[in-house]
A and B are shown apart, each in its own frame.
Chain A
Amino acid sequence: GAVVSQHPSWVICKSGTSVKIECRSLDFQATTMFWYRQFPKQSLMLMATSNEGSKATYEQGVEKDKFLINHASLTLSTLTVTSAHPEDSSFYICSAWTDTSSRPTDTQYFGPGTRLTVL
């Protein structure tokens, strides 16, 4: 099956610094990647949809200037949390469709997640 990786798996940073999280599709090309955020003991909330070569589409309430998304290639999307604060601490998960996912029945493949802790 399709494999999605994330790096780093966990990161601790100081308040005010920026953190970049990478999401890679290892054995397929992903024209569309999704970024989710999961608070402890809660469900996943979609933050944004990342399309290769174009600007990301953000969900309502998500600050695009704070959560910068870049999808520069068919196998890599990055999420940068700028000027991170303790309230940004969360579990960030990406997912991807394969490049053949033109049908809505196709599966999203999820990365293992990145746990961000902002001190």
Chain B
Amino acid sequence: AQSVTQLGSHVSVSEGALVLLRCNYSSSVPPYLFWYVQYPNQGLQLLLKYTSAATLVKGINGFEAEFKKSETSFHLTKPSAHMSDAAEYFCAVRNNMNYGGSQGNLIFGKGTKLSVKP
């Protein structure tokens, strides 16, 4: 079975500071990993995804994440936080259908709320 753990339900940074949101996964097969952002009362928007190509993945809004197999991690970073980055961030792993998984639905972490202080 696959699972995702997001360390820290709430992260607060100052505007201009580094953003680091942690995600660790558990998977018996090579995973496909995703980061989504959710603004209040809205759906989810894809930030970036890892699909077994380059381990450093660049996404929208200046975010990037690095897949580290040895650490089973996929942490999300941004060099300089902006006020508009304040939102809820979800890490997710996808069933890998190439290895017999079903449907490929997403399994989400519990989310990390990012606050940005002026």
User: Which A residues have a C-beta under 8 Å from some C-beta of B?
Assistant: 4, 6, 32, 34, 41-46, 49, 57, 91, 93, 95, 104-105, 107-113, 115
Contacts and interface: CB of A to CB of B under 8 A. Distances in A.
Interface of B: 32, 34, 36, 41-46, 49, 51-52, 90, 94-98, 101, 103-111
A11 B45 CA distance: 23
B44 A110 contact: yes
Contact of B42 (A4, A104, A109, A113): A113
B13 to A, nearest CB: 20
B95 A104 contact: yes
B108 A43 contact: yes
Please indicate which of the listed interface residues A4, A42, A44, A111 has the most CB atoms of chain B within 10 Å of its own CB.
Answer: A44
A93 B107 CA distance: 14
Nearest to B42: A112
B43 A105 contact: no
Nearest to A114: B43
A57 B103 CA distance: 10
A104 B32 contact: yes
A21 to B, nearest CB: 13
A34 B110 CA distance: 18
A109 B49 CA distance: 13
Contact of B111 (A42, A95, A105, A113): A42
A104 B110 contact: no
B105 A46 contact: yes
13 contacts: A42-B110, A42-B111, A43-B108, A44-B44, A46-B107, A49-B105, A95-B44, A104-B32, A105-B32, A105-B52, A108-B106, A111-B43, A112-B42
